Structure 1
Amino acid sequence: MPASPSTARAINDRLALRLLQQEGPLTAGQLKQLTGLSRPTVADLVERLTASGLIAVVGESGELRRGPNARLYGIVADRAQLAALDVRTEGVVVLVSDLVGRVLAEVSVPIGGDTGTGPAVEQVVTAVERTAKEAGADRLHTVGIGAPGLVDPATGDLRDSGGLPAWHRRLAAALQERLPEARVTVENETNLAALAEQREGAAHDRDTFVLLWLGHGVGAAVVLDGALRRGASGGTGEIGFLPVPGTASPPSARDCDGGFHSLAGAAAIGALAREHGLPAADGTDGPGAAGAVGAAVALLTGSPVAANGPADRFLDALAGRIAVGAASVVAILDPGCVVLGGEVGRAGGAVLAARVEDRLRGMSPLLTEVRPSILGGTAVLRGALLTARDRAQDELFGPAVH
C-alpha cells in the first residue's frame, strides 16, 4: 500500500533532517542529490521545515550560480539544549550541548568516598544547573545519564548493584524533580560506550560487534544486526561475573570478585604490572591501570631491546587474561569483532589488541578481529550525548518512519 501524502512528507522531512544532522549544512541541490527526491519535493520540504523553525539559512555554498540552490540550510542548533552525564564511583562529568551536539560547557565534579547520599546528589544536580547556565541554556530539553550497574528495562531505573554508591540510584529522580521540563534517561555506561564506538569510533563499519570495557571494572556491550541487546533484566554484558579459571573462588550474586573482574579489572591489572616489576600503585583505578598499560606499550614500542623484557611479558600476560573473557563471548555470539574499550583498551591500543586477537585465534575456531577503542574513556559521555540528542530530535523532528 502506498504511503499517504502526510506519511510521505514525514518520511521526507525526517530524511532531510537526518542528512543535515550527519552532513552539516546543505543546499537544496545537495539535498535533492542525497535524497533522490524531485526538485519541487525538496523545495516544499525546505519551506515546511523552515516555517516550523527546525532549519534556517546559515550561509551560501560559494557556487558560481546564485539563487535558492546556493543557500545553505542547517538545523537550528539552539532549538534545544541537552546535557550528558558520565557517572563514576568517584564523581561525575557533566556536558551541555546544543541540538547538533556542539559542546557549550563541560565540568568535572569529584565526589569523595565519605560524602553522604544527599550531599552527593545535591553536588551533582547543582553542577548540572550551573553548567547549563554557563552554556546559556534557559532550560534543558533532555538529560542523558551513563552509569555503572544494571538498568531495569521495564522502568528505566538504575538497579541496586553491590559496591556502587547509593547516590547513583537517587540521581535521576533528583534531576527530574529539579528539572521538571527535561526528559531524563539512564543507560548502562558500557552500552553507551558501544553506541559511541559504533557511531563515531572503532566500530563505525560494523553492524555486529562486542565492546569489551576495561576500566575500573570490566563489562561488555553487545550489538547484533545494528541493535543494542540489553537482555531480559538489562544484564547483557555483565562479564565481570563470568566464572573463569585462574581465580581463587567463583563470583557470587552480589560480588564479582572471583569472576572475570578478578583477572582484568583495574586492581588486577595493577597487581599484574607489579608482578612483572613495573610501577603501579596499590588499589589502582581505571586511569591508574591505563597508565601502567600505556607506559608498557610506550616502553615496548620505543626500544627494540624491550622485547622479551618486563613490559613485553606484562602485556602478553594481560592479553592472555583478556582473551579468556573474550573467548567466552565469541563462543556464544560469534560477533566477528571485539573492540577493547575503556581507559585500558585505549591505552593498550593496537599493540594490546593484536596480542588479544592472536590469543583468540589459538582459543577459538571463530575468526574474530580485535580493535582498540578510538574514544577510550570519553566514550560513555559521547554515548550519553548521542542518546540525549536522538531522543530530543525524535520529539522535535518526529520519530523515524519506516
Structure 2
Amino acid sequence: MPASPSTARAINDRRALHLLQEEGPLTAGQLKALTGLSRPSVADLVDRLRGAGLIDVVGESGAERRGPNARVYGIVADRAHLAALDVRTGGVGVGVADLLGNPLAEKTLAVPADMPTDRAVAAAVALLERTAREAGTAPLHTVAVGAPGLIDPASGELRDSASLPLWHRRLVAVLQERLPATVLVENETNLAAVAEQRLGVARGHDTFVFLWLGEGVGAAVVLDGKVRRGASGGAGEVGFLPVPGTSGLPSATGCDGGFHSLVGGGAVCELAAAHGLPGGPDGPAVVAAALEAGERADPFLDALAERLALGAAAVVAVLDPGCVVLGGETGLAGGKALAARVEARLAELSPLRTEVRAGELGGGAVLSGALLIAREAAQDDLFAPR
C-alpha cells in the first residue's frame, strides 16, 4: 500500500534534514540530486522546513550566481540547546551545545566525598545553570546525564548502588523536577563507547567491545550498531569478572577479587611499584611515565598487557566482537603501544582474531557521548512530523 501524501512528505522532510545534518549546508539543487525528488517537491520541502523554523538560508553557492537557485540552506543551530553532564564520584563536568552539536561552553566542578548530599546536588545544578547562562543559550531542550552504575532498562532510571554517592541519584531526580527540558540518563561507559564509535577510533565498526580503564573498570558492548544493556542494565560489568591472578573472587556486593583487582587504577599503581617503577597519582599517570621510561619499563607493560588480555579473552570468547577498544584515561595514556601488547597476548589466548585499538577520546568521551545522545533526542523531537 503506497504511503499517503502526508506520510510521504514527512519521510522526505526527515531525509532532507538528515542530509543537511550529515552533509552540511546544501542548495536546493543538491537536495534534489541527493533525494531524487522533483524540483517542485524540493521547493515545497524547503518552504515547509523554513516555515517550521528548522532550516534557513545560510549563504549562497557562488559569487557569480544569485537568486533562489544559489541559496544554501542549513539547519538552524540555535533552534534548540543541549546540555550534557559527566557525573563522577569526585565531581561533575558540564557541556552545552547547539542543535548541531557545536560546543558552546564547558565547565567542571569538584565534589568532595564529605560534601552533604543536598549541597552536592545544589552545586551540580548551579553549575549546569551557570554554564548554560554564560553560553547565552535559551532554555535547554534536552539534557543527557552520564553516570556510573546501572541504568534500569525498563524505567531508564539510575538504580540504587551502595558503592556510589547518594547525590548521583538525587541529582537526576532534581534535574527532572526543576528543568523544563527532557532529561536522559545513560551509563558512562556506554556513552564513551558511543563517542568512540561516532567520533573516535571505532568509526566504521558496528560490532566491538569498549573497555573503560580508569580508576574503575567497565565495558560497553556494541553489537550490530546498538549498545546492548542486558536484562537488568548490567551488560559490561566486567569489574566483577572472575579471572586468574586475583587474591579471591568477587561477590554480589563488591568487585574486589574480580577483573577490577587486576586493572583498576589502584592495581595499576601497585603493579608498577612491584616492578620498581616510580608511583604516580593514578593509573594513567603511571602508564604514561612507563612508556617514557624505555626498556626498563617493559616488564611492567608486559604484565599489564597480560592482565588486560585475560579480561579481554573472556569477553571475546563469549561475544567474538572482532575489535576491542581500550578506552578511558588509562587506555588513552597507554596508546597504540599498550594496545599492541594486549593484542599480541590476546592472540595467544584466543583463536578468535581480535583487533585491539587504543581509544582516542580518553575521559572526555563521556561528555561527548552524552551530547551526541542529547542531540539525537532533540532532533527526533523537533524533526518529527507535526
Question: Fold conserved (TM > 0.5)?
Answer: yes
Deviations 1:12-68 (A, max 9, x none): 111111121122212122222333333332222111101110000011122644332
Partner of 1:203: 202
Say which SS state the counterpart of residue 331 (structure 1) adopts. helix
Partner of 1:215: 214
Distance 2:35 2:360 in 1: 30
Partner of 2:357: 371
Deviations 1:222-242 (A, max 9, x none): 111111100100000000000
Distance 1:52 1:355 in 2: 54
Single out whichever of 268-277 and 322-331 deviates more from structure 2: 268-277
Single out whichever of 42-51 and 112-121 deviates more from structure 2: 42-51
Residues 1:354 and 1:63: Cα distance change in structure 2 (over 3 Å): farther
Q: Is the aligned partner of 1:138 residue 2:132?
A: no
Distance 2:40 2:351 in 1: 55
Partner of 1:124: 124
Say which SS state the counterpart of residue 2 (structure 2) adopts. coil
Q: Is the aligned partner of 1:346 residue 2:332?
A: yes
Deviations 1:355-383 (A, max 9, x none): 11111110001011111111111110000
Q: Give runs of aligned pairs for residues 3-402 of structure 1, distance below 5 A.
A: 3-62=3-62, 64-179=64-179, 181-281=180-280, 284=281, 288-299=282-293, 306-307=294-295, 309=296, 311-398=297-384
Say which SS state the counterpart of residue 232 (structure 1) adopts. coil
Amino acid across the alignment from 1:372: A
Residues 1:35 and 1:278: Cα distance change in structure 2 (over 3 Å): farther
Amino acid across the alignment from 1:289: G
Residues 1:41 and 1:63: Cα distance change in structure 2 (over 3 Å): farther
Instruction: Indicate if the aligned counterparts of 1:63 and 1:70 stay in contact, CA closer than 8 A.
Output: no
Moved over 4 A (4+): none
Structure 1 residue 315 displacement after superposition: 1.2
Residues 1:63 and 1:322: Cα distance change in structure 2 (over 3 Å): farther
Structure 1 residue 160 displacement after superposition: 1.7
Single out whichever of 156-165 and 356-365 deviates more from structure 2: 156-165
Cα RMSD, aligned residues only: 1.3
Deviations 1:125-160 (A, max 9, x none): 111111111111231111100000000111111112
Partner of 1:303: none
Distance 1:348 1:31 in 2: 44
Deviations 1:286-343 (A, max 9, x none): xx211111222233xxxxxx33x2x211111111101111111100000111111101
Distance 1:146 1:182 in 2: 16
Amino acid across the alignment from 2:211: L
Instruction: Indicate if the aligned counterparts of 2:80 and 2:138 stay in contact, CA closer than 8 A.
Output: no
Distance 2:273 2:341 in 1: 20
Amino acid across the alignment from 2:308: I
Single out whichever of 330-339 and 55-64 deviates more from structure 2: 55-64
Say which SS state the counterpart of residue 185 (structure 1) adopts. strand
Instruction: Indicate if the aligned counterparts of 1:346 and 1:375 stay in contact, CA closer than 8 A.
Output: yes
**TM-score of the two chains, using structure 1 as the length reference:** 0.93
Unaligned runs of 5+ in 2: none
Instruction: Indicate if the aligned counterparts of 1:93 and 1:107 stay in contact, CA closer than 8 A.
Output: yes
Single out whichever of 57-66 and 131-140 deviates more from structure 2: 57-66
Single out whichever of 61-70 and 8-17 deviates more from structure 2: 61-70
Distance 1:232 1:324 in 2: 25
Distance 1:365 1:192 in 2: 30
Q: How many residues align?
A: 385
Distance 1:18 1:234 in 2: 30
Amino acid across the alignment from 2:263: A
Distance 2:83 2:176 in 1: 13
**TM-score of the two chains, using structure 2 as the length reference:** 0.97
Structure 1 residue 351 displacement after superposition: 0.5
Say which SS state the counterpart of residue 163 (structure 1) adopts. coil
Instruction: Indicate if the aligned counterparts of 1:337 and 1:370 stay in contact, CA closer than 8 A.
Output: yes
Structure 1 residue 83 displacement after superposition: 0.7
Deviations 1:253-279 (A, max 9, x none): 111111000001111111111112222
Instruction: Indicate if the aligned counterparts of 2:60 and 2:66 stay in contact, CA closer than 8 A.
Output: no
Q: Percent identity?
A: 69
